Structure 1
Amino acid sequence: MNHLINQIDIYQSPIKLKEPFVISLGAMYHAQNVIVIIHTNQGITGFGECSPFMTINGESMETCFIVGQYLAQVLKGKNPENIEECTHAMDKTIYGNSSIKSAFDMALYDISAQKAGVPLYQFLGGQNNKEMQIDYTVSLSNPEKMAADAKRIVDNGFEIVKVKLGHSKEQDVESIKKIREAIGPKIPIRLDANQGWKTEEALDILKALTPYKIQHCEEPIPRWDYMALPEIRRFSPIPIMADETCCDHIDAKRLIDLYACDLINIKLSKSGGIFKALKIVEIAKAAKMHIQVGGFLETRLGFTAAAHFALSSKNIVYFDFDTPLMMEEDPVEGGILYGEKGKITITDTPGLGASINEDFLLGLKKISV
C-alpha cells in the first residue's frame, strides 16, 4: 500500500508567558504558535510546530493558520516520506512563509522516522552521544533588573547566561558590568542585540564589552546592513554570530563568502524546517564554522525537533532551548527533558517522541483538511 497523507489538522496555539520576554524588537507576552498534525493512511501521525515572529520572519499565528490551509491542500495525497517533493510543493505554492512550512516539515520528518522505526536524530544520521547544555535568557530591561534576573538564573542552576541587548552603549555596557558582578567571573555570557545597535556604533560597544568575558554576540546590527558585518567581524574582539541575517543556506553561503560572521544560529522556523537547515549545516561544515541551534517561542514540541536536529552534526555546539521554561503551561507529552545545570536529554522513541496533549488541543481553534 502506498504511503499517503490523508488528513492534516492545523491549530492556533497561544500560550501565556510567565513574564514578558523583551528584546530590542519589542516585548512578547504570549507564544503565538501553530501546531500541525499530519495523518497518513498507514495510521502514522506526525506532529509539527512553529512559532512565527512578525518582526523577524514576517509571519503571525493568524497568517500561518491561513497559509497552512493552502499547504495542506497541496500535500494531501502525497507520500510523507518524500520530504524533498513535499518541500518543493510547498515552495511552489507560496514564496517565503518559512515558519509555517517548518511545522509541516517537522511533522513529515516525525512520520518518516517513525516509519523507519528510529528516533529522529538517528534518521538524520546523528548519534545521541554529546552533551546538550542550554543557556537561559535575560530579557532586556534596566541594568539592575537584568543583573537580578541573571543572578536568579544562576542560582536556579543554569551555568550559561544569554543576555538581550539593544539599548544605548552606556546602558548596555552597564547592564553587562552589573550582570558580571552578580554572577561572578566563571559563568559564560552570550549576547544577542537582535539588530539593536546602529552600524556605526556596534564596534565601539563590542570593544567596550570585552572586559566582561563574552562568549559571542548575535546579530549586532540591522539585518539589511549585512555588508557592514565583515568589517565589524574583522575588528571585533567578540565573535559574531549571524541570526536574523542567516535564514537559509543561500544566506549562509553569502555570509561565509563575505567573512561576515564567526558562527551561525539556525532556527527551524527561519530555515523552513529540517530539510533546508541540513543544507546550512553542510555549508558551515565546509567552512569549518560552528553552529548554534535555537528557536523562537516554541514549546517542548518544537525544541524536541531542534534537539534531534542538533544531534545530527558535530558542528552544532551551542543550544538555545530555554523558552518552554518561560511558559505558564506545558502541553507536550514526551519530548526533551530539562535536567540540572540546563542539560537536556532526549529519548530513543521512534520519530520525534513528542506529541501534544489531547485535552489541550480540544481548547484550540482548529481546521482539518
Structure 2
Amino acid sequence: MKIAAIKIGKVSIPLKKPFKTALRQVNSAEDIIIKVIADTGEIGFGNAPPTAVITGDSQDSIIAAIRDTIGPKLIGMDVDNLEEIMSAIDTSMLHNSSAKAALDIAVYDLFGKLHGIPLYKLFGGYRNAMETDLTISVNAPEEMVRDSLEAVAEGYKALKLKVGTDAALDIKRVQAIREAVGYDVKIRLDANQGWKPKEAVRTIRKFEDMGLDIELIEQPVKAHDFKGLKYVTDNVQTDIMADEAAFGTYEVFQLLAMEACDLINIKLMKAGGLHNAIKIAHFAETMGVECMMGCMLESKVGITAAASIAASKKIITRADLDAAVLLAEDPVVGGVSFSKNQLIIPDAPGLGITDVKGWQEIC
C-alpha cells in the first residue's frame, strides 16, 4: 500500500457554548481535516485545528505546510515503512506541528487499516475505555457554577476549570464551584500561563489553606519560563502539570531533567503527531512522571487519535479529551464514542472512521 494522494479540506462546527480561556475565546471549531489516499483507494483521516496562540499554526499555514512542503514528500511512500514516513514528516520543515500531526494521524490510520488493527492495540492495548474530564470555560463565578453543576448532572466526575485571568477572582470562582459540586468531584485548574510565578504560589497556597482539594494545576506560568514553573512546583503541595511548556519531545526532556513539574500534558498538535506523543509518554514513564492526554479543539478525528494513545499507555493516567463533546454537532462517522464521562475506543482498524460529513475540499 503506497500513498497516492493527499486531499486537504475543512469543517466548521459551532460550539455548544463559547470556549473561553486566559488566552482566547472560540465560538466554532474551524478544523482542517485531511485525507491521505492509498493506491488501493483506502483513506486515512487526519485532523489539525488552528490554534495560533499556542502552536503558532493558523488555518492558512497548516494548509500551505501540508500542500507545498510536507505532503509532496510522502507521495509514493510505502505505508508499511512508518519510520521513513515519520522521519520525512519531522525533517521536512521546522515547527508547523499541527500540519505534521494531521499527516501523522492519517498515515497511522492507514497503517491500522492495512493491518486490520485498531490503533490503541497497535500502541499497547492497555485498555479500551477511559474517563475524561469536562472543561468549564472561564466566566463569572455564578456562570461557572451553573456549567459545573450541569456537567456533574451529565455524569462527569472530574472538571477542568479555566482560570488565570484574575487571581483574586479565580479564588472566588474555585471556592464557589467546590461548594456547589461537593468533594466527590475532582477539580483540576488550568491557568493557561495566566499567573506570574510568585503570584501562582500565593494563589495555590490560598487554595490549599482553604481546603479546596485541587487535584492539579495546569501551566500556571508562561510556557517559556521553565525556572518559574519549577519554582511553583517546588513551593506548593498541589501537583503542577506542564502543558504549553511541554510542547514537544525536546521540551519535555528538559522539563523532566529539571524536575520542573509533577505531570505532563501530551497533545498531538504540540508534539507533531502520534509517533512523538509515544516518545513523550516513554520519556515520562522512564522518569516516573504520570501524563494526561489533552487536546485542542479537534473534531472527533483528532480526539479518536488522542484517545487511542491515552488508552494504550499505562503512564497516561488522565484524559482531557472533551473537545468533541463541546461541539454542537458531530460530522465524523465512526471513531471514539462517549458514554457519560467515558471514552470508548473502537475495535475497528485504524481510527475506525469511515467518513466526515460536510467536509469541504480545499485542495
Separation (CA, whole Å) in 1 of partners of 2:245 and 2:237? 20
Corresponding residue number in structure 1 for 2:58: 60
For 1:68, give the aligned amino acid.
Answer: I
Matched, 1:247 2:247: yes
Letter of the aligned partner of 2:327 in structure 1?
M
| TM superposition shift of 1:88 | 2.1
Equivalence map 1:242-321=2 (5 Å) = 242-321=242-321
Contact kept? 2:300, 2:330, Cα under 8 Å? yes
Partner Cα distance (1:191, 1:301) in 2: 26
CA contact (8 A) 1:32 1:60 kept: no
Letter of the 1:4 counterpart: K
Query: Is residue 127 from structure 1 mapped to residue 126 from structure 2 by the alignment?
Result: yes
Distance 1:156 1:127 in 2: 27
After superposition, what is the alpha-carbon deviation per residue over 1:157-179, rounded to whole angstroms, capped at 9, x for unaligned?
21111100012221000000000
4+ residue runs over 6 A deviation: none
Partner of 1:201: 199
Q: Of residues 358, 362, 366 in structure 1, which corresponds to 2:362?
A: 366
Q: CA deviation at 1:312?
A: 2.1
* TM, length-normalised to structure 2: 0.96
The share of aligned pairs that are identical, in percent, is 35
Counterpart of 1:339?
A: 339
What TM-score results when the alignment is normalised by the length of structure 1? 0.95
- Return the letter of the residue paired with 1:360: G
State whether residues 335 and 346 of structure 2, in contact with CA within 8 Å, keep that contact through their aligned partners in structure 1: yes
Displacement after TM superposition at 1:276 (Å):
0.8
User: Is the partner of 2:35 in helix, strand or coil?
Assistant: strand
Q: CA RMSD in A?
A: 1.3
Residue of structure 2 in register with 1:80 after alignment: 79
Paired with 1:355 and 1:260, the residues of 2 have a C-alpha distance of 42
Between the two proteins, the alignment pairs up a number of residues equal to 360
**Mapped contact 1:116–1:123 kept (Cα < 8 A):** no
From 33, 36, 41, the counterpart of 1:35: 33
In 2, distance between residues paired with 1:215 and 1:53? Answer: 26
Partners of 1:85 and 1:32 lie apart in 2 by 31
CA drift of 1:52 comes to 2.3
Counterpart Cα distance in 2 of 1:346 and 1:225:
36
Q: Classify the secondary structure of the residue corresponding to 2:101.
A: helix
2:9 corresponding residue in structure 1 = 11
Q: Tell me, in whole angstroms, the C-alpha distance in 1 between the residues paired with 2:96 and 2:134.
A: 28
For the residues of structure 1 that align with 2:139 and 2:254, how far apart are their CA atoms?
A: 34
- Listed as ranges, the gaps of 5+ residues in structure 1 are none
Secondary structure of 1:296's counterpart equals: coil
SS of equivalent residue, structure 1 residue 212:
coil
Structure 1 residue aligned with 2:113: 114
Tell me which residue corresponds to 2:177: 179
**What SS is found at the alignment partner of 1:20?**
strand
> 3-state DSSP class of the match of 2:264?
strand
Aligned residue number for residue 352 of structure 1 = 351
| Counterpart Cα distance in 1 of 2:293 and 2:91 | 27
Structure 1 residue 365: Cα displacement:
4.1
Task: State which drifts further: 228-237 or 265-274.
Answer: 228-237
User: Against the structure 1 CA distance between its residues 100 and 51, is the aligned structure 2 distance closer, same or farther, given a 3 Å change threshold?
Assistant: same
- Residue-by-residue CA offset, 1:17-74 (whole Å, 9 max, x unaligned): 1221000001111112111111111232111111121100000122111111022211
Query: Contact 2:45 / 2:105 at 8 angstroms: preserved in 1?
Result: yes
Residue ranges of structure 2 left out of the alignment (5+ in a row): none
Tell me the amino acid that sits aligned with residue 110 of structure 1.
D
- Tell me the SS of whatever aligns to 1:125: coil
Kindly provide the amino acid, as one letter, of the partner of residue 221 in structure 1: V
Give the aligned partner of residue 102 of structure 1.
101
Question: 1:235: Cα distance to partner?
Answer: 1.3
